[in-house]
Amino acid sequence: MRTRGRLTVRMCGLLATAALAVTFLPGAAAPARAAAAVSSAGPSGVGAWSAAVENAATGRLLWSRGLNTERPMASITKVMTAYLVIRAGHLDRKITIPAAVTGYVRAHNASSAGLRPGDRLTARQLLDALLLPSGADAAYTLAKAYGPGLSRFVTRMNATARLLGMRRTHFSNFDGLPYPTPYSNYSTAANLLVLGRAAMRLPAFRSVVAKRSFRLAAGSGHHAYWWRNLNPLLGRYPGAIGIKPGYTGAAGQCLLFEATRHGHTVIGVTLHSPGSIRSVNPADATRILNWAFSDLS
């Protein structure tokens, strides 16, 4: 996801020192704990500042780093947006793309699904626009329709986070953009595993995040669209079935992911992996998945 203010985080080396003393204090959050040292039994070469992986079936944590350190999560935020929409239902309702989305995307230099104001799409189609190309315009449209209203939708996001037990998470918006500050929208590796598990229990969510692309032909009330999934694991890592990448300058490369192999399903997350906005970096997730499946075999 592109952001208006690209922050460059410089660190000596490649985060080779496992005992990182870097911690962000996002807004009103309690002071975050320093990242934990890498377990000698865990995956090697992982550059993410926070990461975790667990057995999706049992919930058993297999490995983590900085498990409870609060960090910005970028477009992984859109998983909660989709979760609320799907739980609310009425996915075949037609929603008109508001005129304000064009200016919103431009003002924030945000990732976009290219939605055209005035087009009428179903909520189900907008979920594809939200989760595949990470469309901030789709997030805006869905939040406005399902809040109803943007601020009410964000309030519901935070209420749902509390219900799920995500006590170290705060949503300041519906798409993960760095506003009102780069650190006002944050979570932890532990909390995002909770969100990922909850979302992947919903068939409508699973079916979207597993798609490599989606093509919508022009029809009554809307233009044609084609959206490609930005998840770098799909089609490249055997058994990958989701979930959602993200990027801002403050968050770095982020990826919430799930994969299945030999009867085992694991879910993991990386926050602030090395990389830039130009391409999603799958290296950390790949190392973690390889290690996890080896550990489970």
Sequence-distant (6+) residues with CB within 8 A of 89 are: none
51 touches 271 (CB < 8 A): yes
State the number of CA atoms in the 13 A half-sphere of 296 facing the CB.
Answer: 25
Annotated catalytic residue 244: no
Annotated catalytic residue 134: yes
**Radius of gyration of the chain from Cα atoms?**
18
Helix, strand, coil percent values for the chain (each to nearest 5)? 30, 20, 50
What torsion do the CA atoms of 158, 33, 280, 134 make, to the nearest 10 degrees? 10
Judged by DSSP in three states, 260 sits in strand
- Tokens at residue 240, please? 């990958």
Q: Which one of the listed residues 50, 78, 111, 172 is annotated catalytic?
A: 78
Q: Which one of the listed residues 50, 111, 134, 184 is annotated catalytic?
A: 134
Q: Which one of the listed residues 64, 75, 112, 184 is annotated catalytic?
A: 75
**Residue carrying structure tokens 């953009």:** 177
- Tokens at residue 84, please? 């609320």
State the number of CA atoms in the 13 A half-sphere of 64 facing the CB.
Answer: 19
Residue 255: φ, ψ to 5° = -155, 125
Annotated catalytic residue 151: no
Buried-exposed string 234-250: b where 16+ CB fall within 10 A, e elsewhere: beebeebbbbbbbbbbb
CA proximity to 267, closest of 109, 56, 85: 56
Catalytic residues, by residue number, are: 75, 78, 134
